Chains A and B, each alone.
Chain A
């Protein structure tokens, strides 16, 4: 009896976990079957040259197939075999399990910059400097390169970024006579004005599960939560409750208290609906935000979206921030790291590939030949009534971004941040207390994990 019970516990948990993992896609637009790992599996795409070395790639970019086809048609010796192993955490869970198991990881994997050090600390990624990655450093912005670099090692090739801007509903702003805010002070005034004018919605949302979004807001006021260098992987500095973070948190807690912003959970069904039905007049978003919005159903047909720079704390010294953005890394399980590195470097290394990425998948390039081209600056976006949003907003945001250091246990840090912010908006904790508690929890965790915390 006992063995059956315990086994049932484990089996039920595993079976159910798989189901839950399948059903938890946040953006849910890519319904392709997820791969199970292992290099002998079928590819989603067609292989053009059967005799060439095959490189297994996990990635979840929208409209990625034409990019893969383009690579395979232009390369005789190396072919990409692509699988969508799930988005974000779904993919990371599979990769993490493959690392633990010692097999089953792909050769090349799409990783967001924020989780790179979580995997380098487990020796899961290959240092690409051996494979000539430094030759292409000049093709990327400084901030983008610093995100993939740790010490002298480079663990990934940047692909797309998430420089942040402010998307707003011009029709709502016009209807209630709201000025487009340039500073956070203006932003609070606008939030109050909108409410006083009797608008049914609010100015914006403060999602407690915003994770990278909340962190980016803190960073804008100078918060540097982590100092970590994988050259000294056992040392870390943690200061998630520094003054910058506390100021920003107090600012939002005040808006929440006064009922001027919503506190819906990001990426949940209600949030998605409210994004497009006018319940929020502003969506503080990354450059991939317009693509996300356009993919949501039930948008108001007469909604007029515009893009503006993200509000600043000090207009004289603007600080640009980043939310998301992904890279290609080569895993330490790759059979042929050289071929894998070639794929990581070259798959998004042509103008043709980037035009697909920009036009079909709404990616924001970090590859300077296209980022700095007239083509990209002049691009008119029908979603914004033809506004040249890159020229107006995102190019400057991308240029001003200087990089960011994440912790080697970022997923845990985010989960704890979510819990603390939730306790704050529920009125259980003050904004300072929430961050102080977060600091204590993370220091404790880092100590338990064997780090020397400075």
Chain B
């Protein structure tokens, strides 16, 4: 940045009317930014503002609509269904994120050390689930889990055992974790792998000369050097998990008993708006979720500011 801007600034300073030139430049700058700004305002700022405005009202079936200010927010943060959903996605995050990132990191490190044709094929195969649309992936797993269509019944029968009921209330948590891990590990792996490839190979050479083993290189050199990518991957995973929606919605069609309409906060907002016609409260729930996601990401970024490169 420094090197490109300083000569320009020097030139502007030598002109006769430095203020006008700078202002004109600013105007040209706005011109370039305006298409983006227009779309940003129309599709992000306005809907967000409207949703917030809606969340300040309460409309009931029998008593009509009235302005209630922050009441909806107080209701949301004391609503056991919303809090239960938040706790559930929080628990999902605790289990799912380390699992996904762990698999992704391990796969990336292994692939990084292999230089055979096999590694290219493996890379593609691990990435493949991400190329499958989420809804399709969830539908597919739904059939795999099915006690009648799924392969589990047959496999367990070979050993004379009864297959677990993947779609029962007890196992649905693990079944969902499995789908998400299957789908996203490959994607995170590619991001981590790309970061690993950008490390100068001479560093490894130096380490090897110093007597470092493969594991030591991996843990002491590679991982610290890609920490900013790791932070990025983690923040994606946190946001994605807190917004958990598609997979449980799709599985709900197969296991409506085990997954209720308010299984995650996003599903709760969806059910409120489109099934129970409570658009105001749904806006509140969606906004509250947004606030919690923001706080969660902010805290995470704050504590990882060194690793992420946000602060030198």
Contacts and interface: CB of A to CB of B under 8 A. Distances in A.
Interface in A399-436: 408-409, 411-412, 415, 418-419, 422, 425-426
A447 to B, nearest CB: 10
B61 A9 contact: no
Given A121-B61, A269-B143, A415-B260, A93 B253 contact: no
Interface of B is mostly: helix
A449 B61 contact: yes
Contact of A265 (B149, B243, B257, B260): B257
B18 interface: no
A13 B266 contact: yes
A233 interface: yes
B279 interface: yes
B12 interface: no
B135 A122 contact: no
B294 interface: yes
Interface residues of A, number: 54
A164 to B, nearest CB: 22
B276 A268 contact: no
Contacts of A451: 61-62
Interface string A6-30: 1111101100110110011010000
Contact of A97 (B256, B274, B287): B274
Contacts of A409: 61, 276
Interface string B39-55: 00000110110010000
A450 B287 contact: no
A8 B294 contact: no
Contact of B60 (A8, A273, A418, A448): A448
Contacts of A5: 239, 290, 293-294, 297
B276 A411 contact: yes
A449 B58 CA distance: 10
B270 A13 contact: yes
Interface string B202-219: 000000000000000000
Contacts of A13: 243, 245, 266, 269-270, 286
A234 B266 contact: no
A89 interface: yes
A13 B269 CA distance: 9
B146 A6 contact: no
Contacts of B256: 208-209, 265, 268, 418
Interface in A189-226: 208-209
Contact of B261 (A20, A121, A415): A415
B24 interface: no
Contacts of B139: 23
Interface string A312-324: 0000000000000
Contacts of A99: 277
A2 to B, nearest CB: 5
A177 B235 CA distance: 63
A230 to B, nearest CB: 11
B294 A2 contact: yes
A273 B148 contact: yes
Interface string A78-121: 00000000000100110011011000000000000000001001
Contact of A20 (B147, B169, B249, B260): B249
A297 to B, nearest CB: 12
A10 B239 contact: no
Contacts of A7: 44, 47-48
Contacts of B274: 17, 93, 96-97
A97 B273 CA distance: 8
Interface in A253-278: 265, 268-270, 273-274
B289 to A, nearest CB: 6
Contacts of A450: 60-64
A4 B44 CA distance: 8
Most buried by A among B260, B276, B298: B276
Given A5-B294, A270-B148, A273-B148, A419 B47 contact: no
A269 B62 contact: no
B147 A270 contact: yes
Contact of B245 (A12, A209, A448, A452): A12
B290 A449 contact: no
B134 interface: yes
Contact of B266 (A9, A100, A268, A449): A9
A268 B254 contact: yes
A105 B11 CA distance: 61
B149 A269 contact: yes
B170 to A, nearest CB: 9
B20 interface: no
B48 A3 contact: yes
Interface in B261-306: 261, 266, 269-271, 273-277, 279, 286-287, 289-291, 293-294, 297-298
Given A7-B44, A13-B286, A19-B246, A93 B62 contact: no
Interface in B119-174: 133-135, 139, 142-143, 146-149, 169
Contacts of A2: 294, 298
Contacts of A3: 44-45, 48
A451 B298 CA distance: 42
A234 B64 CA distance: 10
B250 interface: yes
A10 B61 CA distance: 25
A118 B286 CA distance: 24
Given A20-B246, A96-B277, A426-B169, A449 B60 contact: yes
Interface in A52-102: 89, 92-93, 96-97, 99-100
Given A96-B274, A419-B260, A269 B250 contact: no
Given A9-B243, A13-B245, A409-B61, A265 B275 contact: no
B290 A10 contact: yes
B255 interface: yes
Nearest to A426: B169
CB-based closest 8 A-B pairs: A450-B63, A6-B290, A450-B62, A422-B257, A450-B60, A93-B274, A20-B249, A449-B61
16 contacts: A1-B298, A5-B293, A5-B294, A8-B239, A8-B243, A10-B48, A10-B290, A12-B243, A13-B243, A13-B286, A19-B246, A269-B146, A418-B260, A449-B62, A450-B64, A451-B62
Given A9-B290, A411-B276, 12 more contacts: A6-B48, A6-B293, A16-B245, A19-B134, A20-B249, A92-B275, A122-B277, A208-B257, A233-B62, A269-B142, A269-B149, A422-B258
